[in-house]
Chain A
Amino acid sequence: MKLKTDLRQKRGFAHGLIRHLPGHAGLTAGCIILLFYAILSIAGPMIYPRIPENLSNVLKSPSAANWFGTDELGRDLLARVFTGVRIDFFIAVGGVGLAYFVALPFGLFAGYFGGKVDRAISVVAESMLTFPSTVLAIFIVTIFGSSVWGLLLTITVTQSPQLVRYIRGFVIQIRNMEYIEAANAVGSRLSFILLRHVLRNTVGNTAVVLSLLASEAVLVASALGFLGLGVQPPTPELGTILSRGRTYFTIAPHLMIFPGLFIALLILGFNLVGDGLRDKIDSKRTR
């Protein structure tokens, strides 16, 4: 009896979700794309633990045997791209995720307390923002090194200042709401107000910003790879694969097209999710 109602409830949830799809086509498409990349990131290296070289099969165009063609060492490009996705995805998601935890306290304090605290934090954040992300990244990666973790920390550093500014902005909006005044009137402690009132109301907007920063992070990460500052070969990474393809572009354009496409698609995925979330939040607000 209980199982039946459980199942019915589950179907109701999926049913409701599917019913809402047409209204959220972008969000759904974005989620599907990101899910695809997430699966690739986890499963890729398991499906292709080694990518064998085959010097008799170099620079072949896409065919039935090699869907994406082969590279200058005869390796299957599809296998390279599928395993290359993992680094960029991991760096983008991890880097931005870490940036959130770094930026959150600064954004909260700058927004809520204002005054000198705000000015101190904002001065630092804004100075960092005067550099374009990629330029800053090039500089930072020389400090942290070209390992995966080094790249992740680089992304964290480049995305944190923006995040601080965004969170600060959201907090300022909330700080002026009457329910914060009401919380003070009732005698709530500062920690309660910041964590329960302010934080919870920034979550929606922050999620949108995080997606958009993640899409930017993909660009930065693959740019670093392209410039040769990312992970070193033979570890596959979309940016380095792209960079390698430059030399052979005229005779084997597929070497640049496929990795480029996969970079663009990942960026698109994050953007669609970000836009979709923002639309959902806006529509809720106009209710």
Chain B
Amino acid sequence: MPEALLQLENIKKYFPIKKGLLRRTVGYVKAVDDVTLTVYRGETLGVVGESGSGKSTLGRTAIRLLEATGGKVLFDGEDLSRLTGENRRSLKRDMQIIFQDPYGSLNPRFRVREILAEPLIAHGEADGDMAGRIGALLDDVGLSRDYVNRFPHEFSGGQRQRISIARALALRPRFIVCDEAVSALDVSTQSQVLNLLKELQQKYGLTYLFISHNIGVVNFISHRVAVMYLGRIVEVAEADEIYHNPLHPYTKALFSAIPEPDPLLKKQRIILPGDVPSPANPPGGCGFHPRCDRCRDCCKREIPCLEEQGNGHLVSCFYPETTSHEGKDVTI
């Protein structure tokens, strides 16, 4: 029975839109709108979505880099919003993040040893064998110990990402958010870093929240996948299941849109009309309804909930695909 490590309950993150001389709040960007999600110990939960889906905001809110506007975050059963001050800061030991940009996420004026020492200094672990610990971190990510005195600009994108990973590992966290961690890398470097992440997961029993727009990458590294659209989760299922049996119309369209590296595969492409809407001005009811070919009246007025369709497969839709399992029989 898998144990829940991180639980997001009805998480909302709204950003106020301020206009005018007096900076009055005229509206909200609803980046994350009522998300409930569980991440189990030792698994990788992939989160896919396009721009405006809220996946990056969700990642940052989960580790409390951003404060949720509403809802609860439970880590190991403990309600994080109750924690204050020092307790809150020491939480960072358990939850870490790896960013997308290998060039921006490292201070160009810090040497590698300073970058890796920073988390240790921040949590009072600066005494003892720092050099040894930093060396061990570099070993973990496959970088030579000789690199400790170098600056970030002396490394390639892939190597810098390894340094970011080493930094995230410094405090032996249990949970790491990978926010588009390989998206800025070349294909051949990507595969190296993905393998590294997988190996580290096995070695240290890490739990990942892997955010990406690249569905191929997400499917490789994830056990389960959640699909987001306009700040909400529209579908969650195991990686294979969600690919072979997508139930939400958006998920179906998303997977069919990916260009496959196989010229003989003539895909029946579902081309979605219109553009990805902005979370500052979301449509009413189900956020996907303007682009959905199954849209009915109720879709315009009400927001569907995430419901189980069997085998841990959750969908948020009034008229999902009929499944091959037992489930609702819906006629259009």
Contacts and interface: CB of A to CB of B under 8 A. Distances in A.
A136 B109 CA distance: 38
B109 A186 contact: no
B89 A182 contact: no
B118 A183 contact: yes
Nearest to A184: B65
Interface string B102-137: 001111111000100011011100000000000000
B172 to A, nearest CB: 13
Contacts of B171: 186-187
A178 B99 contact: yes
Interface residues of B, number: 28
A179 B102 CA distance: 10
A186 B65 contact: no
B92 A186 contact: yes
A44 to B, nearest CB: 38
A99 B90 CA distance: 38
A197 B96 contact: no
Interface of B: 63, 65, 89-90, 92-93, 96-97, 99, 101, 104-110, 114, 118-119, 121-123, 153, 164, 167, 170-171
Nearest to A285: B108
A126 interface: no
Contacts, number: 61
17 contacts: A178-B101, A184-B65, A185-B63, A185-B92, A185-B97, A186-B92, A186-B96, A186-B118, A186-B170, A187-B89, A188-B118, A189-B122, A192-B118, A196-B118, A197-B110, A200-B107, A200-B109
A interface, size bucket: 10 to 19
B133 to A, nearest CB: 14
B90 A187 contact: yes
A245 to B, nearest CB: 48
A281 to B, nearest CB: 12
B79 to A, nearest CB: 20
Given A185-B96, A185-B97, A187-B90, A177 B122 contact: no
Contacts of A183: 107, 118
B73 to A, nearest CB: 15
A181 interface: yes
Given A178-B105, A179-B107, A187 B99 contact: no
Contacts of B97: 182, 185
A19 interface: no
Given A181-B65, A182-B167, A287-B153, A187 B105 contact: no
